[in-house]
Structure 1
Amino acid sequence: MGRFPLFQNSIVVNILAVLHWSGLLLPMAACVGTLCAVFLWALDHVTDYRFAHPGLLWFLPVAGVAVGLAYHWFGRSAEGGNNLIVDQIHEPGGGVPLRMAPLVLIATVVSHLFGASVGREGTAVQIGGSIASGFARLFRLDDNGVRIILMAGIAAGFGAVFGTPVAGAVFAMEVLSIGCIDYRALVPVAAASILADMVCHSWGIHHVPYRIGFAGYPDLSGQIFHTDPVLLLKVGVASVCFGLTSLLFAESVHRLSPVFRTLCPIAWLRPAIGGVLTIALVFIAGSRDYLGLGVVAATPDGASILNFFHPGDYTWSWLWKLVFTVAALSTGFKGGEVTPLFFIGAGLGHTLSTFLGVPTDLLAAVGFVAVFAGAANTPLACTFMGVELFGATDVIYIATGCFVAYLCSGHSGIYLSQRIGVPKAAHPHIATGMALRQARGFIGRRVRKTDTQTSPGSETQTGK
Structure 2
Amino acid sequence: MFEPQSEPFFSRFKNLLLFGAILAALSVCIGSACALFLWLLDFATSFRITHPDLLFALPVAGMGVGLCYFRYGRDVEGGANLIVDEIHEPGAGVQLRMAPFVLIATVVSHLFGASVGREGTAIQVGGSLASATARLFRLRPSDTCVLLTCGIAAGFGAVFGTPVAGAVFALEVLTLGKVDYRFLVPAAMASIVADWSCRAWGIHHASYPLVFHGTLGRDGLISHLDLSLVGRVAIAAVAFGLISRVFAQSVHRFAALVKRLCPVSWFRPLIGGVLTIVLVILVGSRDYLGLGVLPAEPGGASIVSFFGSETYPWSWLWKLIFTVAVLGSGFKGGEVTPLFFIGAALGNALAPILHVPADLLAAVGFIAVFAGAANTPLACTLMGVELFGGTNIVYFATGCFIAYLCSGHTGIYLSQRIGIPKSRSREAICGLTLRQIAESRRERVS
Residue in 2 aligned with 1:57?
Answer: 55
Give the Cα separation in 2 of the matches to 1:355 and 1:149: 46
- Structure 1 residues 190 and 10: alpha-carbon distance in aligned structure 2, compared to 1, 3 A threshold: farther
Residue in 2 aligned with 1:383?
Answer: 381
Q: Once structures 1 and 2 are overlaid, which stretch shifts more, 167-176 or 216-225?
A: 216-225
Residue in 2 aligned with 1:433?
Answer: 431
Residue in 2 aligned with 1:394?
Answer: 392
Structure 1 unaligned segments of length 5 or more: list them.
Answer: 1-6, 448-464
Q: Deviations 1:413-447 (Å, cap 9, x if unpaired)? A: 00000010100013457432111111234559989
Give the Cα separation in 2 of the matches to 1:215 and 1:318: 25
Residue in 2 aligned with 1:208?
Answer: 206
Give the Cα separation in 1 of the matches to 2:402 and 2:337: 20
Give the Cα separation in 1 of the matches to 2:125 and 2:442: 36
Residue in 2 aligned with 1:373?
Answer: 371
Structure 1 residues 269-284: aligned runs within 5 Å: 269-284=267-282
Q: Once structures 1 and 2 are overlaid, which stretch shifts more, 436-445 or 404-413?
A: 436-445
Residue in 1 aligned with 2:359?
Answer: 361
Residue in 1 aligned with 2:286?
Answer: 288
Residue in 1 aligned with 2:153?
Answer: 155
Q: Once structures 1 and 2 are overlaid, which stretch shifts more, 346-355 or 12-21?
A: 12-21
Q: What letter is aligned with 2:273?
A: G
- Structure 1 residues 58 and 9: alpha-carbon distance in aligned structure 2, compared to 1, 3 A threshold: closer
Counterpart contact for 1:315–1:351, Cα < 8 Å: yes
Structure 1 residues 344-355: aligned runs within 5 Å: 344-355=342-353
Residue in 2 aligned with 1:410?
Answer: 408
Residue in 2 aligned with 1:82?
Answer: 80
Alignment counterpart, residue 246 of structure 2, candidates 245, 248, 270: 248
- Structure 1 residues 218 and 445: alpha-carbon distance in aligned structure 2, compared to 1, 3 A threshold: farther
Q: Once structures 1 and 2 are overlaid, which stretch shifts more, 419-428 or 370-379?
A: 419-428
Residue in 1 aligned with 2:130?
Answer: 132
Counterpart contact for 2:31–2:198, Cα < 8 Å: yes
Residue in 1 aligned with 2:106?
Answer: 108
Q: Deviations 1:271-290 (Å, cap 9, x if unpaired)? A: 00000000000011111000
After TM superposition, give the deviation of residue 59 of structure 1 in Å: 0.2
Counterpart contact for 2:59–2:273, Cα < 8 Å: yes
Residue in 1 aligned with 2:172?
Answer: 174
Residue 79 of structure 2 is aligned to residue 98 of structure 1: no
- Given the two structures, how large is their TM-score scaled by the length of structure 1? 0.93
Identity of aligned residues (%): 62
Give the Cα separation in 2 of the matches to 1:42 and 1:176: 29
Q: What letter is aligned with 1:146?
A: T
Residue in 1 aligned with 2:37?
Answer: 39
Alignment counterpart, residue 16 of structure 2, candidates 11, 15, 18: 18
Q: How many residues align?
A: 442
Counterpart contact for 1:118–1:329, Cα < 8 Å: yes
SS of the residue 1:353 aligns to: helix
- Structure 1 residues 210 and 10: alpha-carbon distance in aligned structure 2, compared to 1, 3 A threshold: farther
After TM superposition, give the deviation of residue 139 of structure 1 in Å: 1.1
CA RMSD of aligned residues (A): 1.8
After TM superposition, give the deviation of residue 393 of structure 1 in Å: 0.4
SS of the residue 1:204 aligns to: coil
Give the Cα separation in 2 of the matches to 1:303 and 1:60: 21
Q: Deviations 1:377-410 (Å, cap 9, x if unpaired)? A: 0000000100000000000000100000000000
Q: What letter is aligned with 1:35?
A: A
Counterpart contact for 1:29–1:153, Cα < 8 Å: yes
Counterpart contact for 2:340–2:367, Cα < 8 Å: yes
Counterpart contact for 2:311–2:348, Cα < 8 Å: no
Counterpart contact for 2:351–2:361, Cα < 8 Å: yes
Q: What letter is aligned with 1:389?
A: L
Residue in 2 aligned with 1:308?
Answer: 306
SS of the residue 2:334 aligns to: coil
Counterpart contact for 1:429–1:442, Cα < 8 Å: no
- Structure 1 residues 35 and 125: alpha-carbon distance in aligned structure 2, compared to 1, 3 A threshold: same
- Given the two structures, how large is their TM-score scaled by the length of structure 2? 0.96
SS of the residue 2:215 aligns to: coil
Q: What letter is aligned with 1:404?
A: I
Give the Cα separation in 1 of the matches to 2:338 and 2:183: 29
Q: What letter is aligned with 1:175?
A: V
Give the Cα separation in 1 of the matches to 2:178 and 2:60: 43
